[in-house]
Amino acid sequence: MPNRIGTTLAATSVVIALAGSGRALHRMPTPAADVSTAEGWIGYLAENPDTVAIAVDDGNGGTFEQRPDERQPLASAVKVVHLAAYARAVAAGELSPDERVPLADWERWHLPDTDGGAHPRALERLGVNDPEDTVTLDEMVSAMIQESDNAVPDYLRDRLGDDALREAAAQGGWDDFTPPTMLGNTLALLDPTLDDSSAVWDAARRYASEPAYRAEAVQHPAPEDLFARVDRVQRFDNTGSAAELTALHRAIADGSFGAGGDLARTHLEWQPSTVPGFEGVGFKGGSLPGILTDAVTFRRDDDTIATTVMLASGMSDSDYAEALESFAHQEMLAAAANDPDFLERIRCAM
């Protein structure tokens, strides 16, 4: 999913102005559901209490939660765990961020035309245009966060092992994490015979290691019932709660994650904050047909930290498309984290 948090922050002051002065908020009507505006997202949250999980902590005592402990599809928001595992391995001296990795090793885990153009965009940003090129391991990780490349997390899972991912999640307060496979889940979208978690990971590793299987897999046409298949595929481990995602992001933002936390935070805060009052804004979101996720942390100049997480699933085709066009949900989350009046609007609507 493209990252739009920079323009979102620029628009936050406008959204906050819409929130009003805080007077008589309890009498303000709930806006109509409209995923193209931050105000409209308040209405969407109110109308969809069973399919959206949200957790907001503004760092100044203001909080709001809706279904924070319910497991929801995560899409690419889960990649923060792979980032944390990589950062821990670097801190422990097990990996070097400067290690040169052949492009071919990266692309063994890439299924073309299934990531919304994330991988080609990453190669363009990195100036990679020759199959014989190499990239640094840290550049690969940057592609996982900035462009949301889907090949890198499986590369890291295969290289580090599942225990490393579980331990990284636990270090950030996320217990009982089960590693997913982005490649395997995508293969399962194309091949309905892949019907459980072990099968999809086996398929991903086979794709990476067997050229004949890889050549066969890329010939699978995209299914017409893609939306219907996403719910099935999301059962294959890539789920989590807003509370778990919040815990890991906050641990990275406030330094309590420990070894590797600084490197992870640097990657999450790759987009410099241009808004006065913020030292850094870290974020990672994701999307799949009908699924929209985002986790954002705000580190302020006064040392307070706000966290916001939203996990939405079951979106209609039209709402999903409109939400990706507007990114208004990020404006809503930014306003909820940084304006008490707007947060109260959400609370009163639920």
At 156 the pLDDT is 98
Backbone angles phi, psi at 31, to 5 degrees: -60, 155
79: nearest Cα among 142, 5, 159, 139: 142
Q: For residues 168 and 232, what is the distance between their CA atoms, to the nearest angstrom?
A: 27
pLDDT value at position 19? 40
Identify the sign of the CA torsion 111, 88, 72, 296.
Answer: negative
**Structure-block tokens of residue 299:** 């580190």
Q: Would you call 346 exposed, middle or buried from its count of C-beta atoms within 10 A (0-12, 13-18, 19+)?
A: buried
Per-residue pLDDT tens for 308-330?
A: 999 999 999 999 999 999 999 99
For 225-242, the pLDDT digits (tens) are: 666 677 666 667 789 999
pLDDT, mean of residues 29-46: 95
Instruction: Judge whether 311 and 293 are in contact, CB under 8 Å.
Output: yes
At 274 the pLDDT is: 77
Rounded mean pLDDT, 273-293: 91
Q: In the predicted model, what is the mean pLDDT of the chain?
A: 90
Tell me what pLDDT residue 15 has.
43
pLDDT for 272:
86
Whether 298 has a pLDDT exceeding 90, the answer reads yes
Give per-residue pLDDT as tens, 183-199: 998 898 888 888 888 89
- What's the order of all strands across the beta sheet hosting 63-66? 63-66, 52-57, 305-312, 291-300, 278-288
Distances from the Cα of 22 to the Cα of 73, 250, 333, 339, 341, angstroms: 34, 27, 18, 10, 5
Question: Does residue 18 have a pLDDT over 50?
Answer: no
pLDDT digits (tens, 9 = 90+) for 40-99: 999 999 999 999 999 999 999 999 999 999 999 999 999 999 999 999 999 999 999 999
Q: What is the pLDDT of residue 174?
A: 97
The confidence band for 289, taking pLDDT boundaries of 50, 70 and 90, is confident
Whether the per-residue pLDDT at 13 is higher than 50: the answer is: no
pLDDT at residue 234 in the model: 66
pLDDT at residue number 195: 82
Task: Give the confidence band of 3 by pLDDT, cuts at 50, 70, 90.
Answer: low
Look at 311 and 273; give whichever has higher pLDDT. Answer: 311
Which pLDDT tens digit goes with each residue over 114-166? 888 999 999 999 999 899 999 999 999 999 999 999 999 999 999 999 999 99
Model pLDDT, residue 267? 98
Written as one letter, the residue type at 62 is G
Give dist(CA 142, CA 83) in Å, integer.
Answer: 9
Quick one: pLDDT at residue 350?
Answer: 85
